Amino acid sequence: MAEQRLAADQERVAAAPKVKLALEAAGWGVYRLRNIGNATASHVAIMSRSWPGSSRRPEGLTLRPQEAHEFTLTKTQYARLPSQLWVIYDGLDKATALPVPPDKW
């Protein structure tokens, strides 16, 4: 009986809506932070430790499933584009790294 309850709980957790974020390159230094999951992500922020500081850092976002937020990520002679950005949102225990795709120049 306990095994059946455990299996049912695991199925319920697996079927629960989940947030999944990804970065997309839109071109000319424009990127999109997109929620490709099936749950709404609240209080989404790119952490300052991975931000190159060349433009305004996205923070305090709410992203519904399939919704995206566009932002500019530009390199300068002093700051290169990072290979990953660290993102946090409500319900996430610790920041997670998202790979930065190559820009479409």
Asked whether residue 35 is assigned to any structural domain, the reply reads: yes
Q: Is the pLDDT of residue 61 over 90?
A: yes
Asked whether residue 3 is assigned to any structural domain, the reply reads: no
Asked whether residue 13 is assigned to any structural domain, the reply reads: no
Q: How confident is the model at residue 1 (pLDDT cuts 50, 70, 90)?
A: confident
Q: Own/partner pairs for 41-47, CB < 8 Å, 24+ apart?
A: 41/89, 41/90, 42/89, 42/90, 42/91, 43/89, 43/90, 44/69, 44/87, 44/88, 44/89, 45/87, 45/88, 45/89, 46/85, 46/86, 46/87, 47/85, 47/86, 47/87, 47/88, 47/95
Asked whether residue 64 is assigned to any structural domain, the reply reads: yes
- Tally of domains in the chain: 1
pLDDT number for residue 23: 97
For residue range 35-48, what is the model confidence (pLDDT) as tens digits? 999 999 999 999 98
User: Residue 61: which CATH number?
Assistant: 2.60.40
Q: Considering the entire predicted model, what is its pTM?
A: 0.83
* Residue-range definition of the domain harbouring residue 35: 18-99
